[in-house]
Each structure stands twice: as C-alpha cells, then as structure tokens.
Amino acid sequence: MTQLITPLEPLTFPLTGSHLIEASAGTGKTFTITALYVRLVLGHGNASGVEKTFANARPLTPPEILVVTFTDAATRDLRSRIRTRLAEAAEYFRKNPDNTPNLPKGQDFLHDLRADFSPDSWAGCAYKLQLASEWMDESAVSTIHGWCNRMLREHAFDSQSLFTRSMETDQAELLAETVRDYWRNHYYPLSTQDIAQVTAYWPDPPALEKKVLPLLKHVNLLPSAEAPEQILQQTRTSMTITLGTLKEPWNNWTDELEILFQNATDKKRINLKKFREQYYKPWLAKIRDWAGSPEQKALDIGKGWERLTPEGMAEIWIDGPPPVHPAFENLPRLQKALNNLPDAYENLLTHATHWVSSRFSATQKKRALMGFDDLLTDLDAALASENGERLARMIRTQFPVALIDEFQDTDPVQYRIFDQIYEIAKNRSDCALILIGDPKQAIYAFRGADVHTYLKARKSVQERLYSLGTNYRSTKDMVSASNRCFEFIESQETGNGAFLFRDGEHNPVPFHPVRAKGRDDRFLINNQVIPALTAAIPSPADNQLSSIGAYLDTFSEICATRIVNWLNLAQSGRAGFSGTSGSFIPLRPGDIAILVNNGKEAMAIRQSLGRRGIHSVYLSDRDSVYQSPQATEIHRWLSACAEPDNDRLLRAALSTETLGLSFADIEELNQDENAWENRVIQFMNYRKIWQLQGVLPMLRRILLDFGCNERLLDNYTSPSGINGERILTDLLHLAELLQQASHTLEGEHTLVRFLEDQCDFPAGEAENRKVRLESDANLVQVITIHKAKGLEYPVVFLPFICTTRIIKQDDSPLKWHDENGNLQISLKANTKLLEQAERNRLAEDVRKVYVAITRARHAVWMGLAPVVQLHSSAIGHLLGLDPSGSSELLAAVENLARDTPSIALEISPQASNIRFASVPTTGHTIVARIPVRSPKENWWISSYSGLHITRKTLTTYPQPAISDDSAQTENLMEKLSDLLLPDSPEILGTEPMHRFFKGAGPGTFLHEILEWMAGYGFAAILENPAALKETILRRCKMHKWESWVQSLEEWMKALLETPLLPESTTRQGHHGSGNLRLRDLKNYRTEMEFWFETRNVDLNHLDRIVTTYTLGNRNRPALLPEKINGILKGFMDLVFEHEGKYFIADYKSNWLGTRNDAYSVEAMDEAVRDHRYDLQYSLYLFALHRLLQSRLPDYDYNRHVGGVIYLFMRGISAPSAGIHFERPPAQLMIELDLLFRGVTDRGTSL
C-alpha cells in the first residue's frame, strides 16, 4: 500500500511533534518554511478544526528555531528569505485593515494569519516580527556541518570533545601520509614473493590510497581481516589445494581425448571443416602443460572453451551420437573455477581500509584536527554515549523546534543525530521536528546521501506525512509535459514504476502529478507559444549516432544551432517573454541553461557555442586552478623574473600566449639588441617589485604593462577555445594563491618550486584551489544537473540526456541496498550484485532526469538518439524501451507525446554554422578625458641611470611604480650602447677578455664575481685560488659557460695584479701610487650606497658644471633639459683608502675592440664622454666629498680625495692597463654643493 499523504496548509500545519513534508519541485517549499517560521515567532500554535489554541504555544526567537540545510549558499539564501518574510509580516500587521483588501480565506497567508489574532494584539505581533527580522544575524539557520560543530563546541563536556580543534578542510596530505605509514609497517617486512603479489594489486602507496579512499566512509560495513602476511599465506595455501584438485584428472583426460579425436578423425565421424587436428592438439597441449605445472594458474585455450563441451561436440559430430566424457562436462566448470580462484585482493584491501581509518582518526585526535565528516560522526557518537540522553535533552531545550530542509539528501549518520535528539517515532509534544524533502530529487548518493534513509524517516512519521502539490514555478504547459514524462511509465500496470521503487502494491516513492498555478508570462517564438518540451530525434534512417562520441559531437552542434537561432530572433524582438500587460522582454543568453552530466559534455557544448560567437560559463568546474594552462604561463613568468638574465627563461616567458607578443615581435627581439636589453631591464624591474612588494603586485604589473586586461576582456578567445575572462580570472586567482604562499616561503626560487609542485601534484580538495567563476554576466549557463538542483531557469536545454554509464564488473566497490533498505558494500562483483547495483544506479539517474526537467519555467529542449545502452538510461526507462528497442525510439516518443500538446517532436534536426549576431549596446559610454601633458611628481627619487642623454633614442616600456636603482640596474643602463645578446657567438680576438660575451648580462655576471671577490678578500683570493675557481664554475653553470671557467679564473687573477695607477697615468700631477693593486687594498667598501637631497636641480646647469671641470672641457652628449627634485641615490662599486687618500673605483666591462690597442687612453676618454661616465663619477665624487666632510674634522678635498679610477676590465693587458683616472678640481665640489642646495648665486637661494 502507498502511505496516506495529507495536503499541507501552512496556517494549520501542526507545530509540535515530528512531521515530514514532501515538496515536489517548484511547489513552494521555501515559502512554506518561511510561513512556518513566522508562525513560530508569533507563537501561532496547533490547529484543531476551526478553533485555534495558543495556550501551550510559546513565541520563539530566531536563536531557538533551528533551520538546517546542506550548503552554505542555501543557508545564506534561506536566512535572507526568512528575514524578508518576517519584515513583510511585520509591515502587514502594522497596516490599517481598512487599507488591505478583504480576501477570501486561503488566498493570502498573512491575511489569514492576522485574522487569527485579535486586532488589539496586532501591534505586539508586528513588534515581535520586526525584532525577529533584526535578530536574524544570530539565528540558528545553518548547514548540518556548521551546526554539529557548534554543538560539539558549546556542549564540549557532555559530548566529551575538545574545546579547541582545528578544522582541516583539505585532508589529502594526512591521508597520503597514513597510507605511506601502512605501506611501511605492513608491506616492507613481506617476502619478495608476497610483495610481488601485493604490487600486482596496487604498485605504490598512491594506488593503494585510491582504492582505500572510497571505502573509508563505509568502513563499518566491512568485515574484519587478518594481517597481510597471514592473508597471503592462507591464500597461497588455498590456491595450492584448489589448483591441485582442479588439475588432478586432466593429464589422463587429455590423453583420452586425443585418442578419441584421432579415432573420430580417422573414421570421419566429425566435421573436419570445424574441428581439425591443428585446432584440438594445441588446446590439449595447453591443458596438459597447465595440468603439469603446479603453480600455473591461467589457462587460455581460446575457442576450445566452447568446442570441448557437450554442446560443442554435438555441433561437430556427424556420425552417431556425440561422445560422452567427463572432460566435456567439467571444462565449463574448470573455466568458472579458474575465474574464481582464491584471491587475497578483498581481504588485503579490507585490512588496509580498517588500519588506515583507525590510524587516520588517531592522528587527527593527537593533532587536535577534524574534518567535515568528523563533525557528524563525533556528535553521533556523543549522542549514543552514556551522556547521550542528557546531551539530547540540552539540545532539545536549546532548539525546541527544528526544520530540516533538503532531507532527501540526508545520510544514516545525519538521520541518527536528529532521531536521537527529537525521537521521531515517539512524536514528542514538547518539541517539533519538521523534515522537508522530496525523494524524487535524491541525487547525491556519490556524496553519501541515502534515499533509503529518507524512506526510513517516512515510515517513522507514519500518518504525519504532508505534501505540497501545486507548482508555482513553471507554466501550465511545462507542468503538464513534466507530469506526462513520469506518468507515462508510472501508469503501466507492470514494472517498478517511474522511480523503480514499486513492489506490487507497495510504492514508497510514487509519482503524483502536481497541479499548476501557472505564470503570467509566456515564451514566444515568432509570436507563437512554443511547446513546453521539445524532443529532437534523428531520422530512423540515421544510424550514425549509436556511439556516445558521435552523439556528443552531433547534438552539441544541433543544440548550439538552436540556441543561436533563438537568440538571433530575440535581437529583432521575435523571441522572448510576453506579459499580461503587453510587455515583451527579449530572450537573453543568461535566460538559457544547458544541463550536462560532466565536464566532458560541458566542453563539447561550450566549444560548439564558442564557434558560433556565443559566450558561456561553466558553473560546475571543480578542477584545480593549478591544472589550468595559465599556471604554466605564470610559472614561465616567475622563472624569467627570478633570473632575468637567463636568455632561455626570458624567451619562454615572452612567448606565452597571454602576453600577446606576435612571432614578428619575438623575431624583432632576435635582431634588435636594444629591444632585447630593454626587455631584460623590464624583467629586472619586475624582480625588484617582487622583492619589495610581493609576487601579486608584480604579476599585476606584468598584466598591465603588456595590456593583458584590455585584450583578454575584448571578446578574446584563445586558440584552444578558452575565453579571455576565464584566462584573466585564472591568472588573478593564481596570483592571489602565490601571494598567500609567499608568506611562508623564502625567496623567489622557492616560490617557483612551490608552483612547480602544485602543477605536478594538484591533488587536494581545498576550496581556494578550485577554479573560480570567470563572470556572472549575461552568458549562457552550462551547469551539471547536480549543481542545478534547487535552481530554476526560463529555458533549459538537455542535449545529452541519453548518456549513461552502467555499472561494470570492475566498478569496485559495489553499493546496493538490501530488502530492508540497509546499505551494503562489496569489493568483488558477481552477477546478482551487479544487477542490484545497476538498479540503484538507474533509479538515481531517473531522479536526475526529474531534477533536470523541473528546472525549467517555460521550455525544455532535449536531444534523443538511439545510442548504445539507451534502454539502460533513465530516459530509456521513462520511454519504456527494452534492450532491443533503441530502434523504436521514435515510436516511443510519439507514444509519449500522444494527446499531450505541450510535448513536440523535432525530427531530423540539422546543425548549421550560423553565428550569433549580437547587437552592440546603445548606451553612451562615458570616457575619461586624456590629459594633454603628463604631470610629473613634485618630489621623487632619481639616480644617474635615470638621467636622459640627448643622443639616446631607446625604446621604452612602462616602468614599475618604484625606483629601481640597484647596482645591477645602473650597470645595465650604462651598457645600452654596448649591446649583444648573452648567448651570441664569441667575439674574435687574441685574448679571452676580448672574446668574452658582451652586453648587459655578461657585464652583470663580471660585476657579481668582482663583488664576491671583494667580500671574500682580494688578497685571500690569491692565497686560496680554489675558492675563486669553484665560484666561477658554479656561476658559469647557470649560463652554460663551463668552457670559460679557466679563462675567467686567469682573467680575475690578472685583475688583482693590475696596477690601478700605473706610471703612465700622471694626469693632474697625481704620483706615488703606481704600484697600487686590488690585492694590496686593506680598507675598502663595496657597493656603497649614497643618498643626498636635490632641490629643483636644473640638469642643463649640472651638465655645464661637470663639462667645465672634467675631461678638459671637451664636447660630449648633453643631458635633456629637465629638473630633478627630491633625492638622488646611487651605488659605488668600490671605495677604498690608500696612504691617507680616498679613491673611487668602478668596473667597466665595455667592449672597445678586439685588440689591446683599442684600450688606449684616448679611446677610453672617448668612451667615458660617449657614455657620460664623467657625470657619473662627478656625482660619486660629490657623494664621497660630502661623506668625508661630515666625518673628518680637518677634511680638505685636495689632501684627502685621491680621485676616481674607471677600470676597463677588457683592457688590462694594454699599455694603459685599462685605467681611466681623473681627479677634478675642488671647485667642482663647491659648484655642485651650491647647485644641489638650490643656490644659483652665492647667498641667493632659489
């Protein structure tokens, strides 16, 4: 018998005891919950006929009314709906009754509710409702996990739980660690023979973890098992006995059969076309070899399994009755026995699951950790403990009323929790438990939800079962079509009903047609109301769609074509929604939802839409963002930023799709040395941002500099079909994750390795790793049926409704329910178990189809095709197809649509390449005015490398919003006229220093070696040359310059021996230091940084002063006419003291020619003028001058400053020793001091 169901009336529904409300899709479940909530707040008690009794009905506050649902999104939505409903009710109770219409009873809930209270109490009711509305932030509307966590925390003593436990949302690593512990503890001690058998099942710990994971939630259903060593020994013993018994008679039998067949052949008693000697002799030989080998298990005789049987003999025997022999009778039994030999797999996996589950829980408790499942199991265990009754009583007192939404998605643990608290079967009068759900929408078995648990609750409430039977969501035609889809099979006298639960007259999940309230708006195409359900079916003559692949390809194109056609009609006002007032709203992409089963189907339809110019969004993407192509691109960017002088890494970064450089741009970098060096500087600047501000600002700067944001958002689609919004969303998401990771990681290379690990092993369920929705704009929505549950859409497309996946032999573990509705699990399949599991699968798939069809307000379009296993699909079941009925698909659909105008057939639909003719928006876009001139900051930090010389016309790129004046950057800027790619061919010359690579990268390389030498100690280097060689080797390996190690070592040693002031250098009367070498220096500082103030310094004035007092006043390139105001900073390579005088030395790697004579005094002077090094060393000298002036009491420039030495490293073998020396007169320091203090004339301040 079917359980009696009472139609629910929100105003008279009892508010004590335990009750179950079955709410079909679209029947106002949320409205009912909010209505009951309003009654509870007002204390509107139970009803008895017409009379209302409130004596025992106490008004409740939001913290006392427990409302439980299953997702955070549903919780937020439900809390908002309840708040709104309370506010509306408060407003209604405040209204003057003269201003409200006198409606018939039953038409308006608030009108009828207010009528149950005396007018004198209306103001008080309004106050209670308003207070409750404002109190909703503290309401007990929660997810099941959130509520369990709260109970464990608030009732820690009674639940015997810790006060503080950390919630671990991603337990993947802990589980992997536990499985590795199991492997070490139980498999390492095994013999070689045993470990070989274990690794045949799972070769490594990750493979074992994959097998154990789906069993952990059901470990209590598994039997106990012995340790692996005992399991393997017992299996081996049993195997030996079984094989011996099976093999024993076959040696004799094969001999007898061979004689039998030979005689029959000689006497021509067999059909020699079907049974020849070359057939049976190999079969018998294989059986004989198998029987003679004690350890051989497998036996493969091909067709012999069929021929060497009584039936096989009867087919080939042509003279008299076929022979009778025990071998023929036993061969089928042998085949079956060999397929069911003793196997350790099941027991080994059972033992591993028990051990891992126990150790995992123990480790969690030891570390004070808990996962989501632990919240439920811990509260369930606490309620079942000795203190359980006390805990249940306290929770009942705290929450006298509980409403459990989406109860069809419950599981046995959740049900036990509420049953132990509210005692459902007892129907307690001191509390209320109201369960709301719909078994027809129970589709979350893969998460542990169990519709049979719902049915147990249904049975426990007995006659206290209510239903909502009117659909408020969809049009009348849509409701009619939906009803027909399920009534068609439900109404048949034979079979198990629509939802496969009918057993004779008993059907706990029947299909009851719902009534339709209807809608005011209609969906029109060309001014015609289209059928609510359209079934697109290929012609019966088209037999090309039997494979799932062909079905996906074909119907994704057909579906996309239909969508494009409708949207194009909408552009001209011929497709959309009309209201009763004559209004018309065109169909928009956002009105369309395409429901799919998985990501593969989503990709197929999205690609078809994309080819037609329709953008879509996949709302069910659960992949890790580390698996996206953008993760690989960011890895290349980070690698290049970490090593900007690494040519290979920089080229890889610049070649990424998102940066948008064309092949011509990349080729230009190969040809234009200036452009390449600017890219090097650009990525060095990025590294500086990374070091000073973080990886997130750096990545945002890259996106800005390369114009990625604008390009990706301008209807961009990558060659792989990914739209620009998706790409940009993933890039920004990854940038945020890397910024978070950088807080615990030290250094750029560590973060690069972190990203590599995440890309290689993206496991884990952390929510922040999952790809984010790229847009909530007006796009076609592609969503899985599971994710769409609870949502509604104007138009729904089901292009792949025929796809299914039947349960197979290797689908372990198998789950099914016994006759009592209890979940069972098996690690090995047999025919009976497969049938039970397959029936469970089909029943859930039917419920998925119900969910899919009932999402639509106006129309559903579905694609049907005679695919393989169509009869095993949910839609095949609803159409009444049998295994041989796929060819009768058209007839079955016609039968379904008969006498139902709301269902239409579209036969032989065709795809086309029509594109979406999107009409651009007509609104006026306000554009910001572009400034005519770019105002400069009034105060900023400058450096020598930032001063611009008139002759240089270098290509510029957007610079970061910080001043990057590191020593490396200055060195790079100094070399812009001396460019060559770092991996360019070696330069012809006689000595290594002339042949060594030139350009910014090699220059920085040499500077870094000299800086290291200074730190190690110039003199110490000569005492320990091995340290120098090791350092050079390590650095050369980074650039693949190992062949240069010896030459560089000799070069650096020669630099240490080079006279810094040879006798030939006598400019300006400086004598007495001709024997000074780097190795002799005792007092020195490297990379000394300086800062000094600049007050509106006119660079033309600075240029004139420096030119006057340096290099004999000879001509040189002029500075651009600018001003600097703020701070001037810089770095000096080397500052040292010798014989009471202070010198500045600067290393220059400039390449002036292929021979030593290219480094004459005159040539070096020309290089200094050309690069304006005179300006650089004048500023350096001025910084040293100010430092000494502040530190030495008797400071005198002429006595204490020795001058500047510019060491052209490639010229140390020349007669000049590569030394450019100068000590400008003291007057230069005086003039510079006045200039930088803002004084043009003595005593006159600007």
Q: What is the pLDDT of residues 501-518, one digit of tens each?
A: 998 888 999 999 999 999
Q: Identify the pLDDT of residue 829.
A: 81
Name the CA radius of gyration of the chain, rounded. 42
pLDDT, mean of residues 1104-1115: 92
Q: What is the pLDDT of residues 846-864, one digit of tens each?
A: 999 999 999 999 999 999 9
Q: Identify the pLDDT of residue 946.
A: 62
Token code pair at residue 104 = 């018939």
Q: Which of 1146, 1157, 1174, 1194 is catalytic?
A: 1146
pLDDT for residue 702 is more than 90: yes
Q: What is the pLDDT of residues 426-449, one digit of tens each?
A: 999 999 999 999 999 999 988 888
Specify whether the CB–CB gap between 839 and 503 falls below 8 A.
Answer: no
Kindly report which listed range (237-241, 381-385, 462-466, 954-958) carries the lowest average pLDDT score. Answer: 954-958
Token code pair at residue 582 = 């004559």
Kindly report which listed range (285-294, 751-760, 815-824, 971-980) carries the lowest average pLDDT score. Answer: 971-980
State how far the alpha carbon of 352 is from the alpha carbons of 179, 223, 593, 1007, in Å: 8, 12, 44, 60
639 CB-side CA count, 13 A: 20
617 band by pLDDT with thresholds 50, 70 and 90: confident
pLDDT for residue 117 is more than 70: yes
- Lookup result for tokens 């106050």: 127
Kindly report which listed range (47-51, 136-140, 710-714, 1188-1192) carries the lowest average pLDDT score. Answer: 47-51
pLDDT, mean of residues 1044-1073: 74
Q: Identify the pLDDT of residue 272.
A: 83
Token code pair at residue 178 = 């536990």
pLDDT, mean of residues 222-248: 92
pTM, full prediction: 0.71
Q: Identify the pLDDT of residue 777.
A: 60
Token code pair at residue 1060 = 């810094």
Rounded-to-integer distance, Cα 735 and Cα 694, Å? 10
Q: What is the pLDDT of residues 346-368, one digit of tens each?
A: 999 999 999 999 999 999 888 88
Find, among 523, 455, 587, the residue nearest to 2 by Cα: 455
Rounded-to-integer distance, Cα 1224 and Cα 348, Å? 87
Rounded-to-integer distance, Cα 889 and Cα 865, Å? 8
Residues above pLDDT 90, as percent of the chain: 59
Q: Identify the pLDDT of residue 493.
A: 84
Q: What is the pLDDT of residues 662-679, one digit of tens each?
A: 888 888 888 887 788 889
pLDDT for residue 764 is more than 60: no
Token code pair at residue 231 = 């399991």
Q: Identify the pLDDT of residue 48.
A: 38
Rounded-to-integer distance, Cα 877 and Cα 1221, Å? 96
Q: Identify the pLDDT of residue 191.
A: 94
β-sheet bridge partners, residue 79: none
Rounded-to-integer distance, Cα 1210 and Cα 1157, Å? 11
Determine how β-strand 533-537 pairs with β-strand 575-578.
unpaired
Rounded-to-integer distance, Cα 1206 and Cα 1065, Å? 12
Rounded-to-integer distance, Cα 844 and Cα 862, Å? 19
Residues comprising the binding site for Mg(2+)? 1007, 1133, 1146
DSSP state for residue 398 in the 8-state scheme: H
951 band by pLDDT with thresholds 50, 70 and 90: very low
Q: Identify the pLDDT of residue 815.
A: 86
Residues comprising the binding site for ATP? 23-30
pLDDT, mean of residues 989-997: 78
Q: Identify the pLDDT of residue 51.
A: 36
Q: What is the pLDDT of residues 242-265, one digit of tens each?
A: 999 999 999 999 999 999 998 888
Specify whether the CB–CB gap between 958 and 1127 falls below 8 A.
Answer: no
Residues comprising the binding site? 23-30, 1007, 1133, 1146
Helical spans, DSSP H, in 693-795? 695-705, 708-712, 724-742, 748-760, 785-788
- Buried b / exposed e over 815-843, threshold 16 CB at 10 Å, is bbbeeeeebebbbebeeebbebbbebbbb
List Cβ neighbours of 860 (8 Å cut-off, separation of 6 or more). 478, 481, 532, 533, 534, 795, 796, 797, 798, 852, 853
103 band by pLDDT with thresholds 50, 70 and 90: low
H or E stretch covering 1126: strand 1123-1138
Q: Identify the pLDDT of residue 1242.
A: 47
Positive or negative torsion for Cα 28, 32, 33, 38: positive
Determine how β-strand 533-537 pairs with β-strand 856-863.
parallel
Q: Identify the pLDDT of residue 234.
A: 93
pLDDT for residue 771 is more than 60: no
Q: Identify the pLDDT of residue 543.
A: 65
Q: Identify the pLDDT of residue 732.
A: 92
Q: What is the pLDDT of residues 898-936, one digit of tens each?
A: 989 999 999 989 999 999 987 655 555 566 676 666 555
Find, among 1062, 1058, 1124, the residue nearest to 1092 by Cα: 1124
Q: Identify the pLDDT of residue 522.
A: 93
Q: Identify the pLDDT of residue 717.
A: 74
808 band by pLDDT with thresholds 50, 70 and 90: confident
pLDDT, mean of residues 304-333: 90
Q: What is the pLDDT of residues 202-211, one digit of tens each?
A: 999 999 999 9
Q: Tell me the DSSP string of 6-56.
A: EEP-TTT---SEEEEEEE-TTS-HHHHHHHHHHHHHHT---EETTEE--TT
Q: Mean pLDDT, the chain, as a whole number? A: 86
969 band by pLDDT with thresholds 50, 70 and 90: very low
Q: Identify the pLDDT of residue 763.
A: 52
pLDDT, mean of residues 480-490: 95
Specify whether the CB–CB gap between 645 and 1004 falls below 8 A.
Answer: yes
Determine how β-strand 903-907 pairs with β-strand 533-537.
parallel
983 is catalytic: no
**1193 three-class SS:** coil
Rounded-to-integer distance, Cα 148 and Cα 140, Å? 12
The larger pLDDT score, comparing residue 98 to residue 788, is at 788
β-sheet bridge partners, residue 1135: 1085, 1144
pLDDT, mean of residues 583-596: 95
Q: What is the pLDDT of residues 47-60, one digit of tens each?
A: 433 334 333 468 99
Rounded-to-integer distance, Cα 107 and Cα 116, Å? 15
Rounded-to-integer distance, Cα 347 and Cα 339, Å? 17
1240 band by pLDDT with thresholds 50, 70 and 90: low
Q: Identify the pLDDT of residue 54.
A: 36
Q: Identify the pLDDT of residue 368.
A: 80
Q: Identify the pLDDT of residue 955.
A: 30
CA of residue 899 relative to chain centroid, distance = 48
* Crossing angle of the two packed helices 388-398 and 372-383, in degrees rounded to 10: 110
